[in-house]
């Protein structure tokens, strides 16, 4: 548990360090009783942690201030039961005088990148199957976050080979280097062809 808490703290510290401008402090606070209802209600989602008997456990949430906006303050919120590399759900929350609201729910691993305005560009990476990883990019459009990029990459034996076309090129190179097993696995898994 101590390691998990340390990883969460390190993730939030890294996000704040990358996002907070020079001279800003991380004094703003988002208390657990201020969390938006869509976050606290997710504690009873069956895919989340349960007590083994199907009843939901009360979840604790960790949050980290990442910057100021014209309307208030931005925070990243994550269940305290999640380790930084677990790919658990996290939320980008804005707290204003009107209360706190969820701007974006992030599934999988995520990175915040400084954008052209106060809202970070969010990049997510989710393993959706043993054969595929999904990458998404979200940008603030002035009112909400919108998906501005999405790609599905294939993997064979746990290693990404890229898009279908990129995987074909990897398979051809594997053949050139006489790595026939790798080439066949790529063609089978990505293209559904079991012969070359």
Structural domain spans, the chain: 2-152, 157-191
Model pLDDT, residue 178: 94
* Alpha carbon distance, N-terminus to C-terminus of the chain: 49
Summarised one tens digit per residue, pLDDT across range 134-188 is 999 999 999 999 999 999 999 999 899 999 999 999 999 999 999 999 999 999 9
Tell me the pTM: 0.74
Question: 146, 117 in Cβ contact below 8 A?
Answer: no
Model pLDDT, residue 136: 96
Model pLDDT, residue 9: 43
- The list of the chain residues with pLDDT below 50 reads 1-10, 13, 17-26, 46-51
Question: 12, 76 in Cβ contact below 8 A?
Answer: yes
What is the helix (H) or strand (E) element at residue 4, kind and residue range?
Answer: helix 2-19
- CA geometry: angle 72, 79, 48, nearest 5 deg: 130
Question: 80, 59 in Cβ contact below 8 A?
Answer: yes
């Amino acid at each position: 548990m101590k390691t998990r808490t340390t990883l969460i703290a390190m993730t939030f510290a890294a996000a704040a360090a990358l996002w907070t401008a020079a001279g800003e402090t991380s004094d703003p606070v988002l208390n657990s009783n201020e969390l938006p209802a869509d976050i606290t209600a997710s504690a009873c989602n069956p895919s989340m942690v349960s007590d083994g008997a199907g009843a939901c456990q009360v979840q604790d949430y960790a949050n980290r201030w990442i910057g100021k906006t014209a309307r208030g303050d931005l925070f990243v919120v994550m269940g305290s039961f999640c380790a930084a590399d677990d790919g658990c759900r996290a939320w980008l929350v804005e707290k204003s005088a009107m209360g706190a609201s969820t701007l974006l729910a992030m599934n999988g691993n995520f990175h915040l990148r400084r954008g052209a305005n106060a809202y970070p560009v969010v990049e997510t990476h989710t393993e959706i199957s043993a054969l595929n990883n999904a990458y998404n990019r979200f940008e603030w459009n002035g009112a909400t976050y919108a998906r501005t990029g999405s790609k599905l990459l294939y993997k064979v034996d746990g290693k990404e080979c890229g898009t279908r076309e990129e995987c074909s090129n990897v398979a051809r190179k594997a053949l050139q280097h006489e790595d026939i097993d790798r080439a066949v696995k790529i063609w089978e898994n990505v293209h559904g062809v079991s012969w070359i």
